[in-house]
Structure 1
Amino acid sequence: MQQMMPSSSEVNVFEQRGYLIGKKIGKGTYATVHLADFVDGAGPKKLRLACKIFDKEKAPKDILRKFFLRELDILTKIKNPHIIQAHSILQRGPRVFIFMKYAPNGDLLNYIKVNGAVVETQAKVWFHQIASGLQYLHSMNIAHRNLKCENILLSGKFNAKITDFGFARFCTNEDGDVVLSQTYCGSTAYAAPEVISGIPYNPKMSDVWSLGVILFIMLNASMPFDDSNMRKLLKDQMNKNWNFRSSVTDTLCSRAKHLIRVLLEPDPILRLSLSKALKHDWVHDNELSKSKMY
C-alpha cells in the first residue's frame, strides 16, 4: 500500500492549507487512513482529524463509479451529530483526500473487546445515538449497508458516531421511486437474511437488522450468529437460532430482550421499523438522559 502514502509534494501542498498528515492508522483495499491535524491560520489550536486517501487510478472503474463516487456525493450531503463529519474533501491529481473528525476513543468493537459487555444504561445511550443517526440517513433516503461495531466510533466524550459510507447508497431514483438493492455488501456477520439470500432487498430494513446485531453484541459481548458457514448462518437466522449468553441472560431486562427479538426478525415485513425501535419501552425506560455514563 506504499502508493497510498502522501508524497512529499502533497505533504507540502496540504501544509500550506493547514493540514498536517501523520502516521497511517488503517487501510482498506483501495484506501488508507492517516492521523492528521488542521491548524487554522487564525490561531494556534490544532483540530485532530483522520484523513482517508483514495487513489482513483488504482481502483477498478466499477468500484470507482459504484461506490467511491457515490460515497463522496453522500458525504457532501449529510450533517448530523451522530455521524462522523467530513471536515473537507480535497483532490490532487487522481488522489482524493477526505479529512474527517477524529474519534480518539476508537470503535465500538474494540471497546467491547477491552471492557466486555456494555452495561444496559450505557447501551441505551449508544443505541439511541446510532439509531438516531441512522434515522437521519434514512430520512435523506440514504441506506448505510455496512453497519457494524467497527463502523461505530466513540468520540472524546464517548458519544457514538456512524462512519464509513463506502457501501452507502440512495434508496430512490431520480423520479423518487423506491429502488431495491441487489448488491451483496457489508459484513456477513451483520448482514440480514434477505441479503444473505441474494434476493433484491430493502436496504433500509437490512440496516435495521444490522442495528439489532450491534445491540446484541453490546449487551452480550458475543455475536448472535456464526458466520463461518453461509448456509448454516442463513438457516440460523431464519429459525431465530440465537441465544443470550448465560452470564447475562438473567440480568438483562425483558424489554431489552424483546427489542433484540423484534429487530432480529428474519421477515423484513414483520421486522420492527426504525421509528418504532426509537420509541421502544427499553430505550426510554428510566429516563434515557439520566442514564448516560460519560
Structure 2
Amino acid sequence: MERKTYKVICKISDGGFGEIYKVSSPSINEILVLKHLKFRGNLNEQTYIKNEISSLSSLRHENIISFREVVVKSEEVNIIMEYADGGNLEDFVSEHKTICNTLVVDIFIQILKAVEFCHQNNIAHRDITPSNVLMLRNRTIKLADFGLSMKCMSTAGHPLLCDDFLGNRLFSAPEVLRGIVHDAILADLWNLGVLLYFIMFTRTPFTGYDEEILVQQQTIGNTITTSHCIDLFQRTLLNLLKIIPCDRTCVSKLAEWFGAGGRADTDAYVFRFRRGKIAYMTYFPILEGKFPGLPS
C-alpha cells in the first residue's frame, strides 16, 4: 500500500516522548497531527511506543483522538492522528479563568465517556491531565497522548498491575507517588478527580514535591467540603480523591451521575440530551436540593 505524504506546517509542542507537529496531507486535503518518536534498538522492545500505537489503533470513540496510521522508519516512528483545532483544556481554562457549571458538566462528561471507553477495553490512560485533553472548536473533547497507557488485563484474562511510576506528580495518585505496584485504572480515577478540580478552580489542589503532595492528599477531603461548589461536583471529588484506591467510584457510575444531569446553578438542574450533533439543554426545578443518583 502506498504511503500518504505529509507536509510539516509547524511544530506544536515537545511531548513527553517525542515532538508533535501540525501537518497537511495534500492527497486527502486534511490537516493532521504527526507525533515523531525516536528509538534505539529493536522496536519490539520499545514498550511505551508499542503501547501508544496499540491503544490508539484499538480505541475508536468520538471523545478519543482518532488514529490514522503509523509510519516506521529506521529508529523513528511517526504516528499520524486527528488534529484538534481548539487547543488543549489547560490553555482553555487558563484563558477563560472562570467556567460556568453548565460548561464544566459538558466538558467533564465527555472526558468521562472517553475514560470509560478506555477502561471498558481494559486500558488505563495513566496521564489524564489538562494538556492531554484536546478540544475541537465546537468544544467536542478529545482525550489524547496515550504514551503512558497500558493494558490492564492479560490475554488470559488476568489483571495486570503497573510497576512504573511516571506521569505528572500534581495529578498522580498516592500509590503512584509512593512507588507502590498498583492498579492503573484506579489511579486514573484519582487523575480524574484532580482534573475536575482544575477545571472548576483553574488550579490544581496540590503543589510542591512528592512528599509535600502526599501530605496535602491526606487532607484534600477537608478542602473539598469547605469549597464553594455545587453538590454534584463536591460529591464527585470526594468519591474520586480517596486515598484507598478501591474506595474510588468507578467511571461508569460517574458517567451515570453526569449523564443523568448536572446541577448548573443553585436554581436549576441541567439535563443534557444528544441528538446527532445537536445538544439540547432542559432545565428542571430542584427537589429538596438533592441530585438523583448520588450517594447520600
TM-score tier, shorter chain, comes to: 0.7 to 0.9
| 1:132 equivalent in alignment to 2:113 | yes
Instruction: Check 1:30–1:222 CA distance in 2 against 1; reply closer, same or farther (3 A cut).
Output: closer
By how many angstroms is 1:268 displaced?
1.2
Q: Is the 8 A contact 1:124 1:288 kept in 2?
A: no
- Deviations 1:221-240, CA, capped at 9 Å, x for gaps: 111111x1211211221232
Q: Does the C-alpha gap of structure 1 residues 230 and 61 become closer, same or farther in structure 2, counting only changes over 3 Å?
A: farther
User: In the alignment, which of 94, 99, 121 is matched to residue 113 of structure 1?
Assistant: 94
1:127–1:116 CA distance, 2 compared to 1 (3 A): same
Specify the alignment match of 2:165 in structure 1: 184
* Match status 1:50 vs 2:33: yes
Within a 5 Å distance, the mapping from 1:1-294 to structure 2 comes to 17-28=4-15, 30-40=17-27, 46-57=29-40, 65-226=46-207, 228-240=208-220, 243=223, 249-250=227-228, 252-280=229-257, 284-285=261-262, 286-289=270-273, 290-291=280-281
Q: How much has 1:112 moved relative to structure 2?
A: 0.9
Per-residue CA distance 1:170-227 (angstroms, 9 max, x = gap) = 001231100111110111010011111211111111101101111111111111111x
Alpha-carbon distance in 2 for matches of 1:239, 1:79 = 38
Say if 2:35 and 2:78, in contact at 8 Å, map to a contact too.
Answer: yes
State percent identity of aligned pairs.
Answer: 22
Q: Which letter does structure 1 place at the counterpart of 2:218?
A: M
What code does the residue aligned with 1:31 have? G
Cα distance in 1 between the residues matched to 2:191 and 2:205: 11
- State the TM-score, normalized to the length of structure 2: 0.83
Unmatched 5+ residue regions in structure 1?
1-13
Pairwise CA distance, 1:90: 1.3
Structure 2 residue identity aligned to 1:201: H
Tell me which amino acid in the other structure corresponds to 1:273.
C
Q: How much does 1:258 deviate?
A: 1.3
Does the C-alpha gap of structure 1 residues 165 and 89 become closer, same or farther in structure 2, counting only changes over 3 Å?
A: same
For the residues of structure 1 that align with 2:72 and 2:259, how far apart are their CA atoms?
Answer: 45
Runs of 4+ in 1 over 6 A off after TM superposition: 60-63
Query: Could you tell me whether the CA contact under 8 Å between 1:224 and 1:242 is conserved in 2?
Result: no
Residue ranges of structure 2 left out of the alignment (5+ in a row)? 263-269, 274-279, 283-296
Normalised to the residue count of structure 1, the TM-score between the two structures is: 0.84
Equivalenced residues, count: 268
Give the partner amino acid of 1:55: K
1:105 Cα deviation after fit: 1.2
